[in-house]
Amino acid sequence: MRHVDPDRLVLLALGETVPDPSESSHVAQCAACRDDLDTTREVAEFGRLTQDLAELPPPPPRVWRRVAAATGVSAEPATPYSLNTARPAPSGRRRRPRLRVLALTAAAVVAAVAVTLAATRLVDRAPAERVAAVADLAAVPAAQTAASGVARVLDGADGERLHLHVTGLPLRPGYYEVWLINPDTSQMVSVGVLRDGGDELLPLPSTIDLRRYRLVDVSAEDYDGDVTHSGRSLLRGTLAG
């Protein structure tokens, strides 16, 4: 079975390209490629957390020891966060295991500062946002997906925003759109697009009444120019405050 090229997996994980039908079909059936894609996506998400940092503090020695133990590389960092210092042990590994080594190394390195970064951002955020409502997102039975997530309405000085964290969405052509639905009238409004990482913060219209539009819906959409709901809902949950 021919695997998806590692370079293509990186581009797919970063959202720089969309999979062709053969790639989507292969990833859906191949546990190795699916695991590589998920791992690289996690690294990309960690990278987004630190993209606005000019300098990073050096990781503690225990981080490099854990990297060496988990990946079989030599823990010899000469400069902070330089992946070139993680030297693979000579074992004749092929390109795909090397992709995994680099991905795991990057994840461990960035994780070393992720907590500090998050804490700094929380301190700098003023005024603090209040969680006004929460919805647990569960898969719609007809969608036949293992995806799940949570949606939170954050109320701050700049108004209300909808924060979504979703995992397990299948790789497919097209995109995922987020809707708020009034279950009493079936009226709906789109609030934005959920990107590949599955973590999104979307501004909410100031005119929307969340007591009525309390159903959060994530749908699968195609690039067909149709701005209406496709009718293919994957996840739904009801907001409760």
pLDDT of residue 100: 57
For residue 138, being part of any structural domain is answered with yes
CB 179 within 8 A of CB 229: yes
Both 140 and 54 in one domain: the answer is no
Would 97 be classed as within a structural domain?
yes
Q: Are residues 163 and 85 in the same domain?
A: no
The reported pLDDT for the residue numbered 85 is 42
- Residue 33 is predicted with a pLDDT of 83
DSSP H or E stretch at residue 47: helix 31-49
Report residue 231 as tokens: 């009718």
Q: Is residue 148 part of a domain?
A: yes
Asked whether residue 12 falls in the same domain as residue 117, the answer is: yes
- Name the percent of the chain lying above pLDDT 70: 66
Residues 192, 86 share a domain: no
* The total number of structural domains that make up the chain: 2
Pick from 119, 126, 129, 197: nearest CA to 162: 129
Bigger pLDDT: 202 or 100? 202
Determine what percent of the chain falls in helix, strand and coil, rounding each to the nearest 5: 35, 30, 35
Whether residues 108 and 141 share a domain: the answer is no
For residue 12, give the 3-state DSSP assignment: helix
**Same domain assignment for residues 110 and 17:** yes
Is 1 within the bounds of a domain? no
What pLDDT, on a 0 to 100 scale, did the predictor assign at position 193?
94
Map residue 52 onto helix, strand or coil. coil
Q: Check if the beta carbon of residue 16 is closer than 8 Å to that of residue 170.
A: no
The residue ranking higher by pLDDT, 48 or 42, is 42
C-alpha 207: how far from chain center:
29
Classify residue 174: in a domain, yes or no. yes
Asked if 145 and 161 sit in the same domain, the reply is yes
Give the domain extent around 139. 130-238
- SS3 state of residue 180: strand
Q: Which residue has the tokens 């159903």?
A: 215
Cα separation, 78 vs 59, in Å, equals 11
Beta-bridge mates of residue 102:
none
Residues 143 and 113 in one domain: no
Q: Looking at residues 101-109, what average pLDDT do you find?
A: 54
Same-domain check for residues 70 and 171: no
φ/ψ (deg, to 5) at 110: -70, -35
Instruction: Give the contacts of 30 (CB within 8 A, at least 6 positions apart).
Output: 1, 3, 4
User: What is the tens place of the pLDDT at every residue in 145-189?
Assistant: 889 999 999 998 888 999 999 999 888 889 999 999 999 999 999
Give the pLDDT band of residue 231 (cuts 50, 70, 90): very high
Structure tokens at 130: 């209040």
Residues 216 and 116 grouped into a single domain: no
Would residue 15 count as lying in a domain?
A: yes
